[in-house]
Structure 1
Amino acid sequence: MPRLTSSPPHIHFFLFFYIPSVVFLCSLSHVAKSQIQDQEQQVLLKLRQSWQDPSSLDHWVTSNPSSHCTWPEITCQESSITELNLNLTKLDLSYNIIPGEFPTVLYNCSKLVYLDLSQNYFEGPIPSDIDRMANLQVLILAANSFSFDVPASVVRLRRLRILHLYMSEYNGTYPEEIFGLSDLEELRLEYNKFVPSQLPQNFTVLKKLRFFSMARTNLYGGIPETVSDMEALEHLDLGKNPLTGEIPASIFALRNLSELYVYETNVSGSIPQAVSAANLCVIDLSYNNLTGNIPEDFGKLRNLCSLILEFNQLSGRIPEGIGRLPALSDVRLSKNNLSGTIPPDFGNFSPLRRFEVAYNNLTGAFPEQLCHGGTLSWLAAMDNNLNGELPKSLGNCSTLSHVMLHNNGFTGNVPGGLWMSRNLTALILSGNGLTGELPEELTASSWRNMAVFEAGNNLLSGTVPTELTELPKLTRLLLGQNELSGILPTDIVSWKSLTTLNLSHNNISGPIPSEIGLLPELTQLDLSDNQLSGLIPPEIGQLNLNCLNLSSNRLRGPIPAKLENAAYDTSFLNNPGLCASNSFMRINLCNAQSHRLSKTNLTLIVILAIAAAMCVLLVVLFTIRASRKNRDWFDSTPKLTSFQSLNFTESNILSGLKEHNVIGSGGSGKVYRIIVNPSGDAVAVKRIWNNQKLNEKLEKQFAAEVEILGNIKHRHIVKLLCCISCENSKLLVYEYMKNSSLDHWLHKKKRSSPIPGVANNMILDWPKTLQIALGAAKGLCYMHNDCSSPIIHRDVKSSNILLDSEFNAKIADFGLARMLAKPGEAASMTAVAGSFGYLAPEYAHTTRVNEKIDVYSFGVVLLELTTGREANDRDEDMCLADWAWRHIQDGNPISDALDEDIKDDSNVDEISNVFKLGIFCTATLPSTRPTMKEVLQVLLKCSDPLYNVEKKSQHKFDVVPLLENSKNEEMPRSNFHVLECNTY
C-alpha cells in the first residue's frame, strides 16, 4: 500500500507520475480554501472514474466540498489533502514509452501481487534486491532493454506464478534456480542473447508449468527424455536454438500439450511414431534434419490445427488420416522427399487456411475440396509431379491470395473464377500444360491486388488482354513460351510497378509499343521469338535493363544508340533487318547493308582509305612523340568495350590520366576524375595497373568487376560506362558521383582533400543519412535476391558507397564480388578478402561466404552512420562492431552512442532503431543476422512517418519485433520468390 504524504499547500506524489489525473493534484496552489477543496474532490472523482474496477471505492461520493476528507483512504490537514493511501495489488504500465531504470520506488507497494512493465524503454539491470517485492505472483518485464544477467534475487520471489522476461537485451546468464520455483505456471525467456547453456537437470521439476518458451536463447545439447514429467505443460517452444539429438518420444506423451515448437534447430532422426498427446493443436518441427515417415498417429490428433514439417528430409506418403482432421487449418510440408498422392480429403473436413506441399515428389490429381471451408489463402504445390486438371472449386475460392502451382503436369483450362478473384496477390502457373485463352473479362476491379502473374511455358492462346495493363500493383508478368498472338497493348501507363515483362516464344506480331520504354521500374524485358516488326523504339534505350532480349523477330532499322553496348550483344540476334554501328553487337553493320558499292566507288574508297591510314599513322607518330611521358600506359592498342552510349573516346580518357586528376586510391590502383568533353561532363576512372604486368589477383578483380557491372543495372549500383584494356593495363570508366563516397562525409576530419564543387563545411543531417542507408540497402538487396545468380559483394564499406548529386547511394567496387551458383548456397574462397573492421568473423575463419557476410559489413556501415565513428578507429582498442556490442553489454544508454551532429529530440528514436539494426546485423552467428530483405523492411519502416511514435500512437516502433515478425503467420518462412526486393 503506497503511502503518499506531504505538507500543505503543495502535494507531491512519487508513484503515479504516469497518471495525468493524479499529477493534476500536484498543481494545486494558493487559492481560496473552498476552491481547493472542490478541485481536490473533482480530481479524486475523475481518478476513480478512470480506473477499470472502482467498485472498492463506491464510498467516494460527494456531499459537500470537503467530504472527501472523511473517506478512509484520504488524510487531510486544515481541510486539504496530505495523504492518499491505496491498497494497490495490481499495476499494469505496459505499452507506454517510459524510459529509465527499473523503478525501485515500487518497493513501497508492499501488497503488490501483479506488475507488468512490458513494452517500454526500461534499461539497465534488474535490481539485485527485487526480492523486496515479496508478494509478487506475476512479474512481466518483457520487450524492454533490460540487460546483463537475470539476478539470482528473482528466484527468491517464491510466490511467482508468471515470469516473462522475453525479448530484452540480457546477454549474460540466468539463475538455474528459476526452475526450482515450484509454483511457476508461465516461464518465458525467449529471444535473449544468454551465454550458451543447456537445459538444467532440474528443468522438469516444474509440475505446474503450463507455458514454457526459451526460443533463440543459445540453448544447445539435447532435449531430455524426462520432459514427460512436466505433466501440466501446454505450450513448449525451444525453436531457433542449436539443439542436437533426436526429439524424445516422451514429448508426444504429454496429455495436456497443445503447442509444440522445435523449429530451426539441428535435431535429427525420425519423428516418434507413437503419439498420445490428444490436445496437440500446433506441431512445428520445421527447418531441421528429420528423416523417416510422418507418423500415422498424427491422423488421430482431433485437435490438431497446424502441422508444420517443412524443410526436413521426410519421406513416404502423407497419412490419409491427416486430411480428415476436423480442426486442421495450416499444413506446411514443403521441401521434403514425400511421395505418393495427396490425400483427397484435405479441405473436406476442416477450413484450411494454408496448404503448402511444394518441392516434393508428389503425384496424381489435386484435392478437389481444398477451399471447401472458404478460408484458403496460401496454396503452394510447385515442383512436384502432380497432373490432371485444376479443381474448378479453386475458381470459387475468393479468399485466395497466393497460388503457386508451377512446374507440375497440370492440363486443361484454368478455372474461370481465378480470373475474377479480388484478393489474389500472386498467381504462378508456369511450367504446366494448361490450355485455353487468357480471359477478356479480366478487370482491375477483380485483380486489384495482383503483384505477380506467371503462366509461362504452357499452351495458353489468345491475345494479351488489355485488361492486364490496368493492374497498378503488378511487378512481374511472365507469359513466355505459350501460343499467344495478336499485337501488344499500348495503354500501359498503369504499369508503374512492373519490373519484369516476359512474353517470349509466342506468336505476337506488330510493333513494339514505345510506351514500354516509359515504364519507370522495368529492369527485365524479353520479347524474343515472336513476329514483332518495325523499328525498336528509342525509348527502350532509356530503361535501366539488366536483361534485354529482342532476338528472333522481324525488327528492322538501326538499334537505338543507347542500346549499343556489350551488355546487350546477344539481345538482337536473328533479326535480319536490324543493324548497328559497332561490330561487337553481333549483327549487321548499318553502313554495310545500305547499298551495294560499284567498282568505281570501291576503287575510290580504297584510295581514300589508304590516304586516311597514312594520315592516321602520321598523327599516331606525332602523338607518341608529343606524349612520350605517357607512352608506357599501353604496350598494345587499347581495346574499348562499352556498356552504355558514350560521349567520349578512349583518347579523352588516356589524356586525362594525370596526377592532378587523382581523387582517390586503393589496393588495386588510383581513381581519377576526368573531364571528357567541352560541356564539362566528368567520369571516374579506376586504373588497375602498377607499372608492371598485371598479377593474377588484379586480373581476376578486373574480370569480376567487368562481368558483374557489365551485366547488371540498378539505380543504387554504380553504372559502368566502359572498360579499356590491353595486355598489361586495365581501366574501368564509371559515371562520376559528385558527392564522392560516404566515408568522406562520415569522417571529414580525416579527409585528405575536399570534394570538388562541394562546400567542405556541409554535414549530413539525419534525413539524408537515412536516405543513404535505404539506397545502399536496396542495392545490396537487389544483388542478393534479384540477379540470376546472387552476387556477394564481400567488401561492403562506407568508402564503397558512392553518392550522387542528390545523395542517392550507389554500391561500387565489385573487384572482390562473387556469384553464388544457387540462392542461399555458400561458396568457398581460397583466400580471405575485404577490409578490416567490416569483415564478418566466420569469413576470417572459414572462407565460406554467403549473403550474411555482406549483412555484417552493412551493419558496420549502419553503426558508422549512427555513431559517426570509424569502423576501425585506431583510438579504440576494438573495431566499431565490438565497441557497439560492448556499449550495450555495459548497460550504457543507446543515446550516448549516437552522433551528436545528427541527433536531436525529434529523431533519437529513429536513430536508435537504426543503431539496434546495426547490432542485429553484426551478430556473431550468421544464422541470427537478418537478411537484406529484412534489413530493408526495417529501414523502410524507420523512414515511414506513420511509424513515428508521436504521430501514430504511444506504442513504440522497435526493430526487434519487426525482424521477428518478418516471418510471422501472414508470411511463409519458405521464400516462394513472391516477396521480392525489386518491388521497392
Structure 2
Amino acid sequence: MMGRGILLFLLVRLFQFLVVEAATDPQESAVLRSLKTQLQNIPPNWVGSDPCSEGWEGIVCTDTRVISIQLSTMGLKGQLSGDIGSLSELQSLDLSYNPGLTGPLPPSIGNLKKLTNLILVGCGFSGPIPSEIGYLPRLVFLSLNSNRFNGNIPPTIGSLSSLYWLDLADNQLSGSIPVSSGNIPGLDMLTHTKHFHFGKNQLTGTIPAQLFSANMNLIHVLFEDNQLTGSIPATLGLVKTLEVVRLDRNLLSGNVPTNLNKLISVIELHLSNNDLVGPFPDLSGMLVLNSVDLSNNSFSVSDFPPYFSTLMSLTTLEAENTNLKGLLPPALFTLPQLQTLNLKTNLFNGSLDIGSDFSDQLELVDLQNNSITGYIERGGYPNELRLMGNPVCGGSATAKFCQLAVHSSPPYSTPPNTCVPSLCPNGQNSSPNCQCSFPYSGTLFFRAPSFSDLGNASYYTSLQSSLQASFTTNKVPVDSVSLSNPSKDADDYLEVSLQVFPAGKQSFSRSDIAKMGFMLSNQTFKPPKSFGPFFFIASQYAHFSESDSTGGSKKMSLGIIVGASVGGFILLMLIFVGVYLFCRKRVKTATERRNVSEPRHSGATSWDPTKSSDSFPQLKGPKVFSSNELRKATNNFSEANDIGSGGYGKASLFHFLKNFMLGEPSQFLCLLGVYRGTLASGQLVAIKRSQPGSSQGHNEFTTEVELLSRVHHKNLVGLVGFCFEDKEQMLVYEFVPNGTLKGSLTGKSGIRLDWNRRLRVALGAAKGLSYLHDLANPPIIHRDIKTNNILLDERLNAKVADFGLSKPMGDSEDGQIVTQVKGTMGYLDPEYYMSNQLNAKSDVYSFGVVLLELLTARVPLEKGRYIVREVRVAMDRQKDRYGLNELLDSALGLTNPLKGLEQFVDLAMRCVEETGDERPTMSEVVKEIERIMQMAGMNTNSDSASLDATSTRSSPHPYNNNVASFDYSGAYTPPHPY
C-alpha cells in the first residue's frame, strides 16, 4: 500500500504539472495532430501535442480552444480531413493559395457552427461543394473561388442569413442558379449578402426572376463567362444598391429591361457577348456610370443615343457591333473622364468631328469598320484614332488614323524611390527602396475596373499607397510594395503583378505570409474604388525566415522549459517504473486467479474444462486462431493496418490518471490496438489485440467471447473468433466499414445521415438491444449503450458493439442485479447509478440518450449541460417541432419536413424517465420507431438502402487517425469502436 501511495502522490504531481502546461483541449489537439499526419509541407514548428501552448504556426487559440486556422501560402499538400469538423469553436479557416490542397471538401465542415470565415481561394479542391456548408449560421465570408469545384451550387447556401461575401467564381460549377421553393432554400433568401461572384463557371439555365428583389442589399452581381440563357430578369432593376453588374459572355437573349435605368448607383455595366435584341438600352438615369460594355449583341438599328454625352463620370464606352448608326456628336469627346471609346463594326457615317475641346484623358477612339467618309481635324487630336475599314481610309490613304499604331512604351512598373536599384544575389529582388530581399508575390485580378487607360501611373501609385498603408495598419513588417505589368485578360479582368518586400530582413516569416494572405483573401485590404472587386492569387513562397514575433519570450522561458522537461521526464520514469511493478503484481495475481477459477457460465458456449489450460482456453463455437494466423492476416500488425490504436498523447495520459484513481491503471497501460486483417479465406476482419504479456481486461475478454458466441443477430457485431496463446488476447470480429454512429453525427467519418437514415439506424440498434433483452438465453444487459458503440456497415445498417461490460440477467425474480456501476457518464441510468441495481431498463435509458443525440448531434454531457435536461426544459408541445429548432442538428435541415419528429422526441423522453418503471421496454421501443417510420412513408425493414450521392466519405477509412480522447463530461472515448 505504501508503494501505491507514493505512486499516487507522483501521479497527482504529474497531473498538476500537465494541467498547468496543457493549453489545448485534448480533442482539438487530437484533431490538429490528425491534420498534421494528412498534410505535407506543414510549418516546421508543428511538433509536440499541445498546439496552443507550443505556438503552432497558423493556429490561434482562446483559452484551450482553437478559434482560427490561418495557413495561407504555406505550400500545403494533401486532402483536408473530415476531423476538421470537430473544432467546434473554430471561427476562421483560411487555407488560401495552397494549390496542393486537393480532393473534396469534407461534409463535416458543416459542424463548425461558429465559423464566420471560410476562405479557400486558389487551392486545388474538387468535387461538389458540400451542402453542409449551408448549416453554418454565422458564416460571413465564403470564398471558394479559383478551385476545381464542380456540380451544382448547393441550395442550402440560401440558409446563410449572415452571409456578406459569396464568391464561387472560377470553378467548374454547372446547373442552374438555385432559388427557394417550399421548404427548399435558395440564393434569393440572401437578403443581407453584398456580393454574388459566380463568374467563369459552366452555369446553365435562366437567371431566375425570383433571384432578385427590392429588399436585397447586393452591390456586385458578377455572372460573366457562363452559359446562362433566357432574358435578363426585370427584377434585377429592383436592387437599388447595385454598383457592379457583369452578365457578359453568356447566351442571354431578349430585350434589356427598361427598369435597369433606375439603377442609379451602378458604376460598371457589362452586357457584352450575348444575344440581346430589341432597342438599344436607355441608360440615361445611370449618372455615375464609369464603364459600360454592350458589345456584340443584336440590338435594333438605332441612332447613337445622345444621353451618353451627359454621363460626366464615363471613362469607357464599348459598343462594338451593336447596329448603331448616324453621326457621333462632338460633345461626346468632351466628357472629362472619357479614356476609351470603342464603337467599331457599326453603321456610323458622314464625317467624324472630334472637335477641339476633347478630354485630355481620351487615349483611344476606335471606329474601325464603319461607313465614315471623312475626318474633320479641328484641334489636332494627338492620341490613337482608328478609322481602318472606313471609306475615309479607302484607296491609298496614308493618314495616321488609317494605320494601327505600334506601342513601344514599356508597361508600367513601380519606379525606385530616388535610389539606384541593387544587384541582388541568390534570386532576391531589389525593392523600390533598393534593398535586396525575397518578396511575397502574386497577381491581383480586378474584375471590373472603372478605367481603361492602363498606362496611367496615377492609378497604380494610388493602389500601391493603399496596399502599403493596409500592411502597416495590420502590423506586417513591409518595406515597400511594387506593382508591374498591368494588362487585360480574355475576361476583361485587369491583371497586375504584385511584389511585397520585407522590412529589416531578407524574407518574411510564416506568420507574416499567413497574415498578408489573409488580408488579401479576406478582403481586409480595400483597393481604391476605381479598381472595383478583386481577388489575389499568390505565388508559392519558399524563403521563410524564423518567426521573430515571440523570440524574446522563448529566450526568457528557455530555462523554465528545460527545467520542466527534465523534471517531467524524471517524474514520468518514476511513475512508469512504479506502474510496471504494480502491473506485474496484477498479472501474477490474475494468473493465479485464472488457475483456480471455474467456468462462469454454462450453455452451448462455454470454456471447455476438459481442454482448458492457463495458456489456451478452448471454446465451443467461434473459431480459435493462432497468433501466427492473425499476424499473417495483419502483415505482422503493421502500421498500415492499424485502424484504431490511437496515440499516446495527453488525452490518453489523462485517461490513465483517471483509471488509476479508480484502481484500474492496467486498463490504460494495456491499451487495445485494433487492426484490419484479411483471413486466409479472404474474409475482412477487425482484430482487437491486447498488449502482449498483460492481464488487461481478462474479465472483459472472456465476457465478450462468451456472450458473443451465444448471440447472433444482424444488428449485433459478429464474433468470428479469438486467440489466447503466448500471452496474447485477441478478439476477431466481422469488419464494419463505416465507423461509429458518433463519427457520422460529428462528421468525422464523412457519412451524412439524413432524417430517414437516422430513423433506420435507431430501429436497427433498437432491434439489436431488444434481441439481447428478450431472445438471448440468458437475457443480456449491454450496460454501455452509446453512439460510439453503434457501428454502421456498408449499407448503413446499425450494429451494436462492445460487450466487454455486458451482464447476463440470470434467473433473478425481480430482474435486478446488484453490481458495481459501470458505463459512460452522460448515458448512465441515474437510477442504476444511485442504487447499484442494474436491469434492462438501464439500457433503455442509455438508448434514450442515443435518440436525443440522433436529434441534436450534441455531446450528451458538455460543460455542465446535460442534453436530457436541455431538451426537457426547451420542449413546448404547443409549437411546431416542440420548439426545439435551436437544439436540433442543423444537418437535418431546419426547413426540411421531418415527419414523425415530435413522436420521436416523445419516445426519447419516455426512455429517459427518472425511474425504470416509467420507461418502455426495448420491444416497445422497436414498435414505436416502426410506427414513426410508417408515418414518414418508409418501410420498416431496418436494412438501409445503398449509399446514394449524399453519403460521402472524406478519408479512405473512417477510423483513420482516430485517437483516444475525452469529451467534456470526462467520459473516455475509445480509439476504436471495437
* TM-score strictly above 0.5: no
Q: TM-score, normalised by structure 2?
A: 0.39
Using the size of structure 1 for normalisation, the TM-score is 0.39
